[in-house]
Amino acid sequence: MNIHEFQAKQLFVQFGIPVPKWKEIKTPLAAEKWAAALNSPVYVVKAQIHAGGRGKAGGVKITKTQTEVPALAKELLGKTLVTHQTGPKGRKVRRLLIEEGAGIAKELYLSLLVDRDSGWPVFIASTEGGMEIEEVAAHTPERIVKELIDPAAGFQGYNGRNLAFGLGLPAMEPTLLNPFVTMLGNLYRLFMEKNASLVEINPLVITRDKQLIALDGKVSFDDNGLFKHPDVQAFRDLHEEEPLEIEASGNNLNYVKLDGNIGCMVNGAGLAMATMDVIKLAGSEPANFLDVGGGATKETVAAGFRILLKDRNVKGIF
């Protein structure tokens, strides 16, 4: 399950990770009131959708004028943003995050996820903050630092120091070594205690007054662990999900809508992926990923067929 940036920052505050002063905003009037209360030299107005690339799509506005904030909020609210992650339909903006600007001296990248090879949590960091990490990995992989965390031992101080020295942080700003290590420990606690599958800060900034601030935040959760976290379940925004995917989750089906015209109903995720490959090999495109699971009943299968047939693009089912 994915959540909005403002929700990620809510968790960051809970776990002691520094963020700018911010507030979720749903109306221009609320934006006006918060801007007056914030009284910042710089205001940042961010559209809240479950997709990256908001800045390039015009979903992030910056102003130094307090009176411009309501107009920027009015411009973004209700707008449909199209990014490389939304598809051509885009996503409608229903809420904003408005926060104070930061005096940025340096941007870093930091994330925590599960390493597929070892099965251990791994920190990934880079000096190339503010960029897509995939681009950095493709063109300058030497600028990426990784640190595996043994789950039996948990995060240790030396893990944080390894990352800090790998980034050259002591040379950049020696006073931030200990705060950086502490922040990594807090990120690890968030990751483990909330059953997250990804925690990403891009960028993590060093400010001109020598502070570390999570300027952006992305957190995703393992669906299998959500039953343990009602507070995380409350973050779910159904507006950001495909209606067919919502219906599928209500029937305990693993369904992901795609853009093709051949519906897939398969028992087992690996076979589902192979089936999609076969469809592409035959010259068509899969309309979905659908794993009915090993314990599927006739009711589950019937629900799966109903969902597939509701997709107007589906011309056949394999």
| From 32, 99, 109, 255, the catalytic residue | 109
Asked if 109 is an active-site residue, the reply is yes
142 Cβ contact list (under 8 Å, min separation 6): none
State yes or no: is 158 an active-site residue.
no
Q: pLDDT > 90: what percent of the chain?
A: 77
pLDDT at 149: 98
Does the pLDDT at position 294 exceed 80? no
Query: Are 191 and 211 contacting, i.e. CB atoms less than 8 angstroms apart?
Result: no
In this prediction the pTM is 0.85
Q: Would the pLDDT of 133 be above 90?
A: no
What domains appear along the chain, each with residue ranges and CATH number?
A: 20-100 (3.30.1490.20), 104-232 (3.30.470.20), 242-317 (3.40.50.261)
210: its two tokens = 């020598």
Instruction: Record the tokens describing residue 122, joined without a space.
Output: 């791994």
Residue 53 tokens, joined: 């690339």
Which residue in 107, 95, 105 sits closest to 45, CA to CA? 95
Q: What is the pLDDT of residue 179?
A: 97
> What is residue 37's predicted lDDT score, i.e. its pLDDT?
96
pLDDT tens across 168-208, in order?
999 989 999 999 999 999 999 999 999 999 999 999 999 99
pLDDT at position 106 is 94
- Of 5, 99, 200, 240, which residue is the catalytic one? 200
Q: For residue 301, how many other CB atoms are within 10 A of its CB?
A: 14
What whole-number distance in Å separates Cα of residue 22 and Cα of residue 205? Answer: 16
